[in-house]
Amino acid sequence: MINTDVITEWKNDEPGKYTIISPGIDVNHARYTVLHNRMTGKSMIVDEYKKRFDRMRSRIMAWANVLKEMNETVYYRHITLTYDTHGTVGEPHKWRPNDIRDFELKLRAYINKVWSGTIIWGMAWVGEIQPYSKNYHYELMIATSNRLFFKNGVIDDLWDRGFIKIAEPNAPWYLVAYCKKKNQKDYWYFPPGARGFGVWVSPCAYSGIYRSKVLLRFHSLKIWQMTYLIENNHGEDLVMDLEQKLYGVRAPPSDWEWKGSWVKLENAEGQVAELMAADD
């Protein structure tokens, strides 16, 4: 008989395909995936929402730690970017691919032009769903070497998709706090193809904090790759001993194969039951 564990998370880089429920409706994310191990005969149910949420949280935390450990002066700006979906102040706008990427590029170009010599230490953002309207929006933080003062209307023009709100936190944990809002990370309502987070750190920020650089790189790996490296590392200092492996060694192919993805948990449990019956 198959040794079966029904759990709510799993460490694997190939969770399978997402099932489209209804074309044209922004709820197309199958939540539960069944994986089957060809070698051990073990089956598992993966909660894709939880896996995605945990990955976002670990990456944002690693980003914040890099900035916190810097010996240089760091100033922060937090910008909330929302969409004018009802056309309140102009034409209505909805999410579209590369909106956040285009805004970041415009923001960097503006800073380099107006504040010449300012170093952008890093940027990070988190995607969220508004609790009642279910509209997708961004919470973005930028870290710089100088304090930035934006003139009225500048960020609005750079965003040009709706509304903005600017805050001046004194630490990167301000963005980390948004990772705790699990009710606003309901990936069921995320637009198809919308990412949950983004992280970038300038090479300039790594000076003197080599360990943080390795950690940030480590948390960018697939979960199953991290697990493999940890299990096969025997050095006294896990992070420093992993450095060479992070850039040169890859884990072997996973023995886990995708069996199906479903919106409802009972469907995934039914697939596991079928695998057990087939093994009998």
pLDDT of residue 206: 61
CA angle 156, 161, 92 (to 5 degrees): 130
Flag the least confident range among 2-16, 119-133, 149-163, 166-180. 2-16
Residue 89: band (very low, low, confident or very high) from pLDDT cuts 50, 70, 90:
confident
Question: Please, which pLDDT band fits residue 26 given cuts at 50, 70 and 90?
Answer: very low
SS3 (DSSP) at 199? strand
Between 223 and 263, where is the model more confident?
263
- What tokens does 270 get? 């039914």
Query: Residue 185 — pLDDT band, cuts 50, 70, 90?
Result: confident
What is the rounded end-to-end Cα distance, in angstroms, of the chain?
A: 6
Say what the pTM is.
0.76
Structure tokens at 106: 């415009």
Highest mean pLDDT among 27-41, 54-68, 219-233: 54-68
For 74, other C-beta atoms within 10 Å of its C-beta total: 18
- Tens digits of per-residue pLDDT, 199-217? 998 877 665 555 566 666 6
φ, ψ for residue 278 (rounded to 5)?
Answer: -65, -35
Band of pLDDT at residue 222, cut at 50, 70 and 90: low
Q: What pLDDT was estimated at residue 260?
A: 87
Q: Identify which has the larger pLDDT, 218 or 198.
A: 198
For range 188-196, the mean pLDDT: 86
- What is the mean predicted confidence (pLDDT) over 104-132? 92
Q: Which domains can be identified in the chain, with CATH numbers?
A: 70-208 (3.30.70.1910)
190 closest CA partner among 46, 63, 44, 18: 18
Percentage of the residues of the chain whose pLDDT score is greater than 90: 34
